[in-house]
Amino acid sequence: MRAASQRLNIRPSPTAFTAFYHQTARQVYGLTRRIIVDIEMAKEATRDIYLIVRREAHRYNQALGTPTAWLMTIAHRRTVDEVRAEQSSTNRAAHWATHNHTPDYDTVAETVATKIEAQTVNTCLESLSPIQREAINLAYYQCMTYRQVSEHLSIPLSTIKTRIRDGLKNLRTCLEGHQPE
């Protein structure tokens, strides 16, 4: 009951509101500018804050604080809401762009090039000796370590390393010979 009796249920006169604006505008703009980096957005937020204050003046309760404190609370909340809304909008736009992006390249040509490269690698793998091909297959296509390949084939580790090294050299030579000019 006490809080309700201290609530002002009048709309401020245009003169009183103008005076209030002139006394507090610099402080409100300073707060919005610290939170909102963009100058135009800060100015717009400041205008919106004063529109809210004018519209909601009847809600001011002097038992809860001074008019300036009430104004600054509204300003802070409104400014933070503005920043959050802007960030949310930016996040939505980035999400949309990421999920609706059409590649700038020809997917058919890319698929064909990938298949040709795979065929070239297979052809070059076939040109390796069977023991080199087996060691490379286990190491690179079966994701085994050199030690695991050695144990799997029951061959010394140094021999496996040599087979793989020589096989990779031969594979590189073959692939370089198949490069388009």
Q: What angle do CA 174, 177, 179 make, to 5 degrees?
A: 115
Residue 51 CB-density burial (10 A; 0-12 exposed, 13-18 middle, 19+ buried): exposed
Residues 94-131 pLDDT 10s: 888 887 776 666 777 788 888 988 898 888 889 999 99
Give the predicted TM-score (pTM) of the model: 0.47
Could you tell me which residues are beta bridge partners of residue 7?
61
pLDDT digits 0-9 by tens, 127-144: 999 999 999 989 988 889
Contact 49, 74 (CB under 8 A): yes
Q: Of all helices (H) and strands (E), which one includes residue 110? A: helix 107-127
Q: Which amino acid is at 25?
A: A
d(CA 16, CA 1): 27
